[in-house]
Structure 1
Amino acid sequence: MNKETSNFQRKVKDHWYVKYEQASFPFIQKGWILPVDRWADFDPFILMAEDWFKRGAFSDHPHRGFQTITYVVDGRLEHIDNGGGRDILEPGDVQYMNAGWAARHAEEGVEDDIAHTLQLWLNLPKNLRKTATSYQNIYAEDAPVMDIEGGSVKVFSGDFGEVKGPLDSVVPITLAEINLEKGANYIHSLPEAHNAFLYVLSGDLDLGNEQDVVRLTKHGVATLTYNEGGDSLRQSEFRIKSNSRRSKVLIYSGTPIKEEIVPYGPFVMNSMEEIKQAYTDYREGKFGPPAI
């Protein structure tokens, strides 16, 4: 992203650590990075789950009315959809899905692997809920990397200087994976009107300016302040410092949609009546054949 004249300095708005629960096989363990009951705070993001699972956990199922962004932390993840798509994603890969009006797919561990994934649900505005279903795989080696002092920034989505991420979402977002060595300081730029959050995958980080710094380690989550009346073409700054030999953090941002939503089961709509219609359409076969 081009360095603009915006002086908006972001800081940590709220922070917490993910709590995990063991689950029944083929699920292994689950935690909520972004709990669904706070979707209004996270807008345009709805929820984010961290899952460990084996084959059979997320077999054929439908979606409607939102987008997903899945980051593979470990293991192998097989994607299967009823449009004929099939691929295997490995650690560091990302898959984007626009469920649109009628997605039907499966997300499976491969062979005896335990798949470890982060799945973010990204809202669609009401006028885009009927868009066509689509999928895009972004392999780790295809995401451009910016070298910075004491580390690197891998860009999956958004523009950072001369670097543009390959992820092409219906509702534009930024997604960057930041890797820092001990003592490295980095200023991350984000559109000032974007709501943003981060998740610490490893290490120990100081977040924000010295006068209001927050320290987080692995499994830490933070939401960031933003300029609600700002301009998405102007930039804001957020400071990050690594306190450990190897720190890795994911930062997501997007423009709030500011619409009431009803997340229910595998669907996200604007009313309970629309949720009921989605279930009716699925039972009547309007989502197409199973993903197998």
Structure 2
Amino acid sequence: MTTNKYQRDIKDSWYVKYEEVGFPSIQKGWILPVNRWQDFDPFILMAEDWFKRGTFSDHPHRGFQTVTYVVDGRLEHIDNAGGRDILEPGDVQYMNAGWAARHAEEGVEDDIAHTLQLWLNLPSHLKKTETTYQNVYSEDAPVVTFNGGELKVFSGTIAGVTGPMNSIVPITMSELSLSKDASYVLELPETHNAFIYVLSGDLDVGENGTNIKKHGVATLTFNGDGHIENISEFKIKSNSRRSKVLIYSGTPIKEDIVPYGPFVMNTMEEIQEAYRDYREGKFGPPAR
């Protein structure tokens, strides 16, 4: 294994563009657009949504995982296995859709829910695994403090702590908060494909100090020919009084996929099978 750590930089960056949509949905933006899933592997897409109750009522999924971060408002999870819970700002829900998920994601009462939902691919041999859900509450994620900030770890092992999320395909997910002029060097496996999304503030990131502000997205360089146990470094510095950024990383799966509607499979024939199974009731009763 190498002793010199791979230094990550920015591969590509952009700012999310938003559009108003029909009530009860309010506004939507694509953090990771679905037509670039090859660049984001193992991640497929990431949507930012503002919505009220009735936008994401009972619906099915198959063949992938979701990681939903609540930015503001309250989000009620309902599934057809009897699960029901309310998540608040800073909480995360993980779902392995696997073989047949059927659930609802609703704003609570008159709240406007503001969420970030990431779709995470499953390799072909895991696309028909058991459907599971896990709520990760903000206070249950370990926090590493340092001069000028803190790092909260939801998934994976970073900075000596391990997040509580039990993803069937392991990823890292962390939330970094920095005050003005504070800096941090984040360590990630060098082989992980990774991206960041700036929730607030103004940051200089990567080996060349690329400036990224609120609503900015950046994919990071990585060492695809490296070793999973080798650590890379990613430099982050805050230029504002209150900066917050989410960082996600995972090992590329390197399989062709067909994202179609609420399903993500490897072939169109498998997509057709998913629709047929749903129509025939194989996903179970509605989530209510």
Shorter-chain TM-score above 0.5: yes
From 195, 209, 233, give the equivalent of 1:213. 209
Equivalenced residues, count: 287
Instruction: State the one-letter code of the partner of 2:159.
Output: G
Q: What residue ranges of structure 2 are gaps of 5+ in the alignment? A: none
User: How far, CA to CA, are the matches of 2:165 and 2:126 in structure 1?
Assistant: 18
The residue number in structure 1 matching 2:220 is 224
Partners of 1:95 and 1:5 lie apart in 2 by 36
**CA distance in structure 2 between the partners assigned to 1:278 and 1:140 by the alignment:** 34
Does the CA contact (< 8 Å) of 2:159 and 2:187 recur in 1? no
| TM-score, structure 2 normalization | 0.99
1:223, CA displacement in angstroms?
Answer: 0.1
Which stretches of structure 1, 4 residues or more, deviate above 4 A after TM superposition?
A: none
Matched residue type, 2:38: A
Helix, strand or coil: the match of 1:100?
A: coil
Determine the C-alpha separation between the residues in 1 that align with 2:185 and 2:209: 14
Which residue of the partner structure matches residue 239 of structure 1? Answer: 235
Q: Residue 268 of structure 1 aligns with which residue? A: 264
- Residue in 1 that maps onto 2:157: 159
Deviations along 1:68-122, one digit per CA (max 9) or x if unpaired, are 0000000000000000000000000000000000000000000000000000000
C-alpha distance in 1, partners of 2:160/2:7? 22
Query: Structure 2 vs 1, CA of residues 87 and 144 (structure 1 numbering), >3 Å: closer, same or farther?
Result: same
Match for residue 76 of structure 1 among 53, 74, 81: 74
Q: Deviations over 1:49-72 (max 9, x none)?
A: 000000000000000000000000
Amino acid in the other structure paired with 1:189: E
Offset, 1:6: 4.1
For residues 117 and 7 of structure 1, the distance between their equivalents in structure 2, rounded to whole angstroms, comes to 34
1:104-143 pair list within 5 angstroms: 104-143=102-141
- Percent identity between matched residues is 75
Please name the residue that 1:285 is paired with. 281
Aligned to 2:37: 39
Give the secondary structure class of the aligned counterpart of 1:288. Answer: coil
Contact in 2 for aligned 1:12/1:223 (Cα 8 Å): yes
Q: What TM-score does the superposition give when structure 1 sets the normalisation length? A: 0.97
In 2, are the aligned partners of 1:158 and 1:174 still within 8 Å (CA)?
A: yes
Distance in 1 of aligned mates of 2:238 and 2:50:
27
1:57 to 48, 55, 58: 55
Deviations 1:193-226 (A, max 9, x none): 00000000000000112xx221011000000000
Structure 1: gaps spanning 5 or more residues:
none
Q: How does 1:169-208 map to 2 (within 5 A)?
A: 169-208=167-206
3-state SS of 1:39 partner: helix
Choose the corresponding residue for 1:148, options 143, 146, 149. Answer: 146
Distance (whole Å) between structure 2 residues aligned to residue 233 and residue 105 of structure 1: 37
Opposite residue 52 of structure 1, the aligned amino acid is W
